[in-house]
């Protein structure tokens, strides 16, 4: 588990002016990673956010300012994906963080050299930060699981296994896109209310899911489980994630084998990966609700109990096509925190590998929809609209039960507390396009 060091000092200031604002997403204490280019003619390469700029790791690698592990990590991060950097492990990641922190610190002798490597974020084009070989989505919010389960099984909303293991399913990595992703409304089978047989057509109950993504760093050999004590050493960092869901397709197809076409048409992630080291000041105790079972021994550890959870604030907002035309700001739908999760990120990694499954660098784990204990903290329209029964007013003349064509959904994530620098994830956007008519 990451430890606090000089890179977390809330009094530390960078020489870069844009880091000085109270609401700065990317202060010197953050330093998240992404893959970017300035225009379509350039090669993709890794970068690190600082203020409103990006440190171009390819340009930095050419300068040869750093030695040892930091230099190794910067060269690895300069590639067109972060997979090589991810597999080098925490010692290298932390060496890069410390080197950049020292170089960006007010009064650093490297200021002129590092300034020559800066690129404005405003003109950057982002790509997926890694080649994602596999994607697994979990179901870690007991509040979401209970709310959705109650719609289907009022007398027994939670199935017995939920209390004992992190429920998950294997998703489709090919349809994962970076913020700005626009996708067509999915088509598929759905069973209309009262009908005797299904129909095929566009989903009528399209939804978002407010989640975090967990990027795997170094993997594990097949057949060798990752114990709780080592789990976080295999996690490179976290991003925002929207696991778009077609609820009507899902209701028809999910039994007996779980989600399929209802969830594999699009998943959107934020471009920036915030490292666990940057999140260290926001670790909190892992607390289960009163009366809950203790995890089985392989999913339990003293350190996980003491600080396995992370207090990451999460917001979901919506902006319709009409709102964009009128230049109205997005409407906030809900706000919650990841500290409410029933399972921690370490438990996800350990359970995923307990059967000998091998994880690889760049694999992505979704946390599942993050909903809190109150209605205002629901992480999906399915919950906010009570299954479509209670429309939500989003502007003076528009309401929603589920998403409509042209809607843009925006997620934001950040950490803040007294005595620590604010750490942001940036924002993440995705837009719904009309369904494509079938051929013929």
pLDDT digits (tens, 9 = 90+) for 285-314: 999 988 899 999 999 999 999 999 999 999
Summarize pLDDT for 381-411 with one digit per residue, the tens. 999 999 999 999 999 999 999 999 999 999 9
Q: What is the per-residue pLDDT for 1?
A: 67
Structure tokens given for 381: 């329209």
Where do the domains of the chain lie? 6-127, 135-433
- Weakest-pLDDT range from 108-112, 131-135, 287-291, 416-420: 287-291
What Å distances lie between residue 141 and 77, 121, 148, 257, 344, CA to CA? 33, 33, 11, 20, 10
What residues form DSSP beta bridges with 167?
Answer: none
- In this prediction, residues 147-176 reach a mean pLDDT of 92
Q: What is the per-residue pLDDT for 178?
A: 98
Split at pLDDT 50, 70, 90, the class of 156 is confident
Structure tokens given for 52: 């409103």
Whether residue 430 contacts residue 269, with contact meaning beta carbons closer than 8 Å, is answered with: no
Does the pLDDT at position 2 exceed 80? no
Structure tokens given for 205: 């109950």
Q: Which helix (H) or strand (E) holds 113?
A: helix 111-115
Instruction: Please report, in angstroms and rounded to a whole number, the separation of the first and last CA atoms in the chain.
Output: 56
Q: What is the DSSP string of 282-328?
A: GEE---PPTTPPPPPGGG--HHHHHH-EE--EEEEEEE-HHHHHTTP
* CA neighbor of 278 nearest in space, from 423, 414, 416: 423
Superfamily of domain 135-433: Fumarylacetoacetase-like, C-terminal domain (3.90.850.10)
* CA neighbor of 339 nearest in space, from 201, 141, 204, 171: 141
Task: Please report the beta strands in 99-173, taking only residues with DSSP state E, as ranges in sequence order.
Answer: 118-120, 125-127, 135-138, 168-170
The fold for domain 6-127 equals SH3 type barrels. (2.30.30)
Summarize pLDDT for 326-374 with one digit per residue, the tens. 999 999 999 999 999 999 999 999 999 999 999 999 999 999 999 999 9
CA angle (410, 82, 428) in 5-degree steps: 5
* CA neighbor of 309 nearest in space, from 336, 279, 272, 334: 279
Does the pLDDT at position 202 exceed 80? yes
What is the crossing angle of helices 68-77 and 90-104, to 10°?
Answer: 90
Q: What is the per-residue pLDDT for 59?
A: 98
Does the pLDDT at position 104 exceed 70? yes
Query: What is the Cα–Cα distance from 64 to 34, expressed in whole angstroms?
Result: 21
- In this prediction, residues 58-64 reach a mean pLDDT of 98
Q: What is the per-residue pLDDT for 290?
A: 86
Structure tokens given for 13: 């200031």
H runs (alpha helix) in 26-79: 57-63, 68-77
- In this prediction, residues 41-60 reach a mean pLDDT of 98
195-207 in b/e burial notation, b at 16+ Cβ within 10 A? eeeeeeebbebbb
Task: Look over the chain and give the mean of its residue pLDDT values, rounded to a whole number.
Answer: 96
The residues annotated with a catalytic role in the active site are: 144
Q: What is the per-residue pLDDT for 23?
A: 87
Does the pLDDT at position 440 exceed 80? no
What residues form DSSP beta bridges with 168?
Answer: 138
Give the long-range contacts of residues 55-62, CB within 8 A, separation 24 or more.
55/100, 55/114, 55/117, 55/118, 56/117, 56/118, 56/119, 59/116, 59/117, 60/114, 60/117
Whether residue 361 contacts residue 83, with contact meaning beta carbons closer than 8 Å, is answered with: yes
Q: Would you say the CATH fold of 135-433 matches that of 6-127?
A: no
Does the pLDDT at position 414 exceed 70? yes
* CA neighbor of 225 nearest in space, from 165, 298, 285: 298
- In this prediction, residues 84-102 reach a mean pLDDT of 98
């Amino acid at each position: 588990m990451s430890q606090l060091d000089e890179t977390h000092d809330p009094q530390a200031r960078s020489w870069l002016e844009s880091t000085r604002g109270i609401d700065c997403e990317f202060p010197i204490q953050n330093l998240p990673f992404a893959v970017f280019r300035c225009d379509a003619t350039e090669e993709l390469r890794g970068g690190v956010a600082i203020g409103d700029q990006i440190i171009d790791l390819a340009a930095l690698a050419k300068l040869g300012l750093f030695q040892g592990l930091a230099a190794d990590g910067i060269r690895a991060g300069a590639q067109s994906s972060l997979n090589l950097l991810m597999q080098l492990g925490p010692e290298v990641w932390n060496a890069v963080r410390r080197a950049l922190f020292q170089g960006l610190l007010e009064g650093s002798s490297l200021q002129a050299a590092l300034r020559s490597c800066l690129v404005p974020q405003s003109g950057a084009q982002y790509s997926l930060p890694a080649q994602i070989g596999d994607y697994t989505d979990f179901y870690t919010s007991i509040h979401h699981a209970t709310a959705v389960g109650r719609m289907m099984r009022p007398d027994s909303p939670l199935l017995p296994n939920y209390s004992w293991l992190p429920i998950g399913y294997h998703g489709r990595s090919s349809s994962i896109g970076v913020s700005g992703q626009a996708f067509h409304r999915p088509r598929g089978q759905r069973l209309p209310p009262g009908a005797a047989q299904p129909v095929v057509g566009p989903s009528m109950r399209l939804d978002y899911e407010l989640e975090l993504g967990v990027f795997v760093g170094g993997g594990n050999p097949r057949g060798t489980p990752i114990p709780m004590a080592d789990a976080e050493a295999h996690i490179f960092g976290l991003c925002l994630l929207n696991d778009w869901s077609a609820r009507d397709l899902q209701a028809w197809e999910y039994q007996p084998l779980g989600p399929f076409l209802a969830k594999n048409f699009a998943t959107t992630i934020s471009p920036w990966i915030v490292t666990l080291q940057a999140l260290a000041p926001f670790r909190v105790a892992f607390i289960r609700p009163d009366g809950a079972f203790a995890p089985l021994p392989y999913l339990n550890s003293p350190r996980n109990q003491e600080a396995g959870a992370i207090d990451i604030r999460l917001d979901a907002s919506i902006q319709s096509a009409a709102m964009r035309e009128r230049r109205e700001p997005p409407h906030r739908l809900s706000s919650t925190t990841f500290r409410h999760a029933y399972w921690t990120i370490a438990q996800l990694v350990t359970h995923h590998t307990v059967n000998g499954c091998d994880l690889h660098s760049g694999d992505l784990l979704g946390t599942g929809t993050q909903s809190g204990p109150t209605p205002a903290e629901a992480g999906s329209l399915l919950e906010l609209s009570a299954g479509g029964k209670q429309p939500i007013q989003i502007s003076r003349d528009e309401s929603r039960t589920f998403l409509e064509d042209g809607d843009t959904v925006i997620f934001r994530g950040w950490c803040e507390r007294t005595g620590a620098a604010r750490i942001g994830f940036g924002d993440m956007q995705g837009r719904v396009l009309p369904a494509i008519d079938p051929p013929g």
